[in-house]
Every structure is written in structure tokens, then in C-alpha cells.
Amino acid sequence: MVCFSLYSAANAMQQAYRPLLEDLGLTYPQYLVLCTIWTARNPLTVKGIGQQVHLDSSTLTPLLKRLEASGLVIRTRDPEDERQVRITLTEAGHALRDRTAHIPACMLEKTGLDIDTLVQLQTQISALAARLRNPTDTAPAKPPRAANI
């Protein structure tokens, strides 16, 4: 079952990250959100972060509040649209990026894959996720066996 393999791999990936993130006081979802903020070209809103990490605001808001309580981000209402909450990094949030710079190389080593294979795998999984989130109107000519999905 592909679904179980993906689920199992996701759990294993999170477990592999745990010791690297514990030393920094971060959870895996917090790390993903911070990576999103670190790589953004412009300041992000809660909605914008949620769209990138595929979390809804009811999940994301408590996570961002914990990051704010840790002194890593600041949440402010947009003065032009108070429904929007803008997220900016603090100095400590910027500094934490340098302290996490080793994590991608550590994770690459843990996978046992070369970078080209890992990039190809990531591309395929991202494409699968996109297709599942936005299915097309066309059905496959022959339905797959349900036991393999």
C-alpha cells in the first residue's frame, strides 16, 4: 500500500529529525514553519505560511504563538487589514537559522541516498501531493487496484 509506505516514511523522517531539533528546542512542525519564513523573500502572513506548509490557521496559530513565546518570531496585525497577521523573525529567529545550517546535510546522510536521488524522490512526492490536493477532472483509463493505493 503506497499510502502506508508514505505514512511510515513520514513518521521515520520526523523521528530522524527529532534529535537534531531537540537540542534547538524545536519541534518538527516548528522547524518546517521556520524554514518557510527563512526562505521567504517577503514578510509572510499566517495564511501565506499555512498555504506553503499545508496547515490551517487553527493548527498554525498555536504553533506561531509558541515560537513567539520562545522569542523567535513576532506576530503583528496588518494595519491595513486587521484580519491579516504578519509574521516577522526576531534577531534570535534569524540567528537560529545559522544554528540549523547543518541539519540538511545530517538528514541527507541519514537517508543513505545521494543528492540526485533524493531530489528526484522529493520531486515525485511533491507532484503526487499536488495531484492529490488538486485532482483533475479526467479519470484514468483503467482504475488501479485499490489494494495497492
Q: What is the pLDDT of residues 81-132, one digit of tens each?
A: 888 999 999 999 999 999 999 999 999 999 999 999 999 999 999 999 999 9
User: pLDDT tens digits for 24-40?
Assistant: 999 999 999 999 999 99
CATH code of the domain covering residue 134: 1.10.10.10
- The tally of domains found in the chain comes to 1
Backbone angles phi, psi at 34, to 5 degrees: -65, -40
Q: What is the pTM of this model?
A: 0.84
pLDDT class for 140, splitting at 50, 70, 90? low
At residue 86's C-alpha, the angle toward residues 82 and 88, to 5°, is 150
3-class DSSP state of 87: strand
Taking 3-state DSSP, the helix, strand and coil percentages for the chain, each rounded to the nearest 5, stand at 65, 10, 25
Mean pLDDT of the chain: 90
Q: Which domain holds residue 47?
A: 2-148
Predicted pLDDT of residue 119: 94
